[in-house]
């Protein structure tokens, strides 16, 4: 009985040693954490600040002195942006790196430019004033390519509308008399296109916070500002205005479902 017990213990010990040796001979596998899964699908909101330049093409209407035709006046100033939107990332290969979405924004601004009635004066310069773009708003869509899982390069476009402030212009009219031109404020519709880039902010530990920079080019339809005039030797019935605007805005977006 004693011999059988000794033989059994020896067999178990040999089996354990063989198993341990087999385990030692196998290469050790490192524990690898799963790669994070980034998704651009979801809602976001944000805002930014930037700079803009505009071209204001003005053409006088009426018989208030000699007409000199359309005059182009430059405008410039700051612009802001408040926006919200929704993006969808296509998950099926080979479209997994494409993101498309819709958005809307409102952009307060202070882009100012010199305004001219285009009325050549027999005494001095034409009657001039200042035109101001008070704000714009836009609705549209965008489509982009992920140059990296967390970096989006995109193009956008859609409908836009701007609010032009009223004009109060003073100058010389007919010989020996001062002239004035006053117009109404106006909303002016048009289209826009542009593009930008968006990437997460890494220096602040807030998930879902993104930095973006965007360029936009907008063209607005020709509209007529109702006008009244004095001292011009005739009646100015209105002022046709057509504007095009270029802006560059940088800011922050917050994505609700970013993980």
The per-residue pLDDT for range 70-90, each reduced to its tens digit, is 777 888 999 999 999 999 999
Strands (E), 63-127: 71-89, 98-116
pLDDT at 31: 52
* Mean pLDDT of the region 134-149: 95
Burial 202-236 (b: 16+ CB within 10 A, else e): eeeeeeebbbbebebebebeebebebebebbbeeb
For the ranges 18-27, 142-151, 197-206, which has the lowest average pLDDT? Answer: 18-27
Predicted confidence (pLDDT) per residue in 196-252, tens digit: 999 999 898 888 999 999 999 999 999 888 888 777 766 777 888 889 999 999 999
What pLDDT was estimated at residue 240? 85
Give the domains, in start order, of the chain with CATH numbers: 40-255 (2.40.160.20)
User: Helix (H, G, I), strand (E, B), or coil: what is residue 77?
Assistant: strand
What is the distance between the alpha carbons of residues 121 and 138, in angstroms, rounded to a whole number? Answer: 39
Q: How many degrees, rounded to 5, is the angle at CA 136 between CA 133 and CA 141?
A: 150
CA distance 62 to 175: 19
What pLDDT does 36 receive? Answer: 55
Question: How far, in Å, CA of 80 to CA of 109, rounded?
Answer: 6
pLDDT band at 256 (very low <50, low <70, confident <90, very high): very high
90-127, pLDDT tens digit by residue? 976 667 799 999 999 999 999 998 877 666 555 455 67
Q: What is the mean pLDDT of residues 19-24?
A: 44
With H, G, I as helix, E, B as strand and everything else as coil, classify residue 17. Answer: helix
pLDDT beyond 60 at 28: no
pLDDT for position 5 = 35
The model's confidence at residue 9, banded by pLDDT at 50, 70 and 90, is very low
């Amino acid at each position: 009985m004693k011999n059988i017990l000794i033989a059994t213990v020896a067999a178990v010990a040999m089996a354990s040693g063989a198993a341990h040796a087999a385990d030692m001979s196998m290469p050790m596998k490192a524990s690898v954490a799963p790669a994070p899964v980034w998704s651009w699908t979801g809602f976001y909101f944000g805002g930014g600040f930037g700079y803009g330049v505009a071209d204001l093409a003005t053409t006088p209407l009426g018989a208030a002195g000699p007409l000199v035709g359309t005059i182009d006046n430059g405008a410039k100033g700051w612009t802001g942006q408040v926006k919200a939107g929704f993006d969808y990332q296509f998950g099926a290969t080979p479209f997994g790196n494409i993101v498309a979405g819709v958005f809307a924004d409102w952009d307060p601004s202070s882009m100012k430019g010199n305004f001219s009635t285009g009325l050549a004066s027999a005494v001095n310069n034409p009657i001039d004033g200042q035109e101001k773009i008070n704000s714009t708003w836009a609705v549209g869509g965008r489509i982009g390519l992920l140059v990296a899982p967390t970096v989006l390069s995109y193009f956008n476009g859609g409908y836009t509308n701007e609010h032009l402030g009223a004009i109060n212009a003073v100058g010389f009219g007919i010989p020996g008399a001062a002239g004035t031109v006053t117009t109404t404020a106006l909303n002016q519709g048009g289209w826009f296109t542009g593009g930008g880039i968006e990437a997460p902010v890494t220096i602040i530990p807030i998930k879902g916070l993104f930095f973006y920079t965007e360029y936009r080019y907008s063209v607005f339809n020709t509209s007529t500002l109702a006008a009244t005039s004095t001292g011009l030797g005739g009646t100015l019935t209105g002022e046709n205005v057509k504007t095009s605007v270029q802006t560059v805005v940088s800011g922050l977006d917050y994505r609700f479902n970013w993980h």
